[in-house]
Structure 1
Amino acid sequence: MDTRIELPLENTGDGGTGAGPQDRGTGPPVVVGLSGPLSETTAHPLVDRLGALLHRYGAVVADVSRIELTHSGAVHAFTEAAARAGEWPDVRLAVAAPDMTTAALLVSSRVAERVPVHPDVATALAHLDDRPDLVRGWWHFGVDPRAPGDARQHVRRVCHSWAVDEDAREAAEIVVTELVTNAVEHAASASVVEVERTAHALRLTVRDFDSAPLPEVRLPEPTSPRGRGLAMVAAVATTWGVEAHRDGKTVWAEMATV
């Protein structure tokens, strides 16, 4: 019999589930019966509680058949909880939404891309191991010479879990190594790496916090041991670009997958 936890949304801040990051396990999935108003006020503690349950159980079905949706944006609590808890398949969250209006909102708001939506609990449990349309992971690295290697290992690990083909995986490893190396050696900056997989693409971004002018791609001198980072990214990515921020930049690259 599946474990079921009742979670009134008015009480999501009281810590009553007893779940925490230190309790992570790999047991059977848990069904969380939500009830009450899902609003801007209750969405934030719901993120924390679902995240804690995902840490503890690994797999959760949120039964929303008894919620009252009072703010459409509150449905993003489900994607935020999944993103905070970790990467698929270590973290698996699905929503059982018998109400067609709620289900349609979850689809139109693109929540269903990251957190699959099903018409009932039984169907959600049966498909809990199916990979969502979009899977994502992110990591923070300091100004550390080990950061490029650590980032490459993370990318390799999730690409294996997400069944990314070898060509796209190798390209992603090159991209993340070059970009995190640039953040450490040239920008002397911490970095945030994010990678996501859709049906036909792998997108990788590296955010740094260096306010220097945006870089340009240029071919270095043949004898130069440095300056090849963005040229390598341009060579292996299907498409790429740079976005400026007031406190740094994000370099992104996409690789086609099969």
Structure 2
Amino acid sequence: MKLIILAFILSITFHFLFLTKIESPKEQMYDKPSSSKKIDKSSVHFVKLQPKVKPQKKTEPKQEKVKPKKQDRPKKYKEVKIPKQNIPKRDVIKKPKKIQKRPTPKVEAKPTFTKDIPKKTQREKDIEKRSLENFLLAEPVPLDKELLDDITKSYINLYGEEYNSFTKVQKVFLQKNLKDIGRITQKYLRYPHIAVRTRQQGMNIVEFTLHPNGDISNLRITNSSGYSSLDENTKETIEYAYKDYPRPKTPTKIKIYVYYKLY
């Protein structure tokens, strides 16, 4: 019986100690506001939250700058009047300017003729008169043989009596242009190399028909120089030179001399 009572007392003490250890943390939890302990509503006060107001910057009133009067301004410097002095002026030496000479254009002095102009002879006057008439007339009139120059006369003498059978237009063309045709031919003439080596010289007479379009036909040597190289060279020369010949109004027979001379 005693043992049962002792065991009961021990069990009660153990239970008491155990409960005290467990209850102590529970009491701490009840003390916290987030615990499940009941809150008395009468002790709760509600507060209304107001919106945040940004603090305004204090604006100080602008103060007008007042300019100090001239009298109040401090003087920076004193005005000192310096008496004028008569300072002698220095002589300024001016440097002479460099003048560039422009090149003077060369002017060719034309000779002045002081001699008296020779008077024209009666023969020259007649030639001018007839040439003017030929210019004005539709059909020109040939000049007399006596009024022609010596070279033109020598060319016309090659025709003989055949010259009289030509028309007036042909005669006028021959009188005016035979000399020029001979001069153009001599300008184109080149001495053959073989003839130069063998010292060949001479004169031949060539004949051809000159047409209004500038062509030539019936080219032949009527009087040989005695050397075939010179005769062939004359034909070749005329075949080059005929493009510069004056052109007649009608087909006209041309006869000229061709000279070969070594100097």
Higher gyration radius (CA): 2
Give the TM-score normalised by the residue count of structure 2: 0.21
TM-score (norm 1): 0.22
Higher percent of residues as strand: 1
Select the structure with the greater relative contact order (CA < 8 A; seq sep ≥ 6).
2
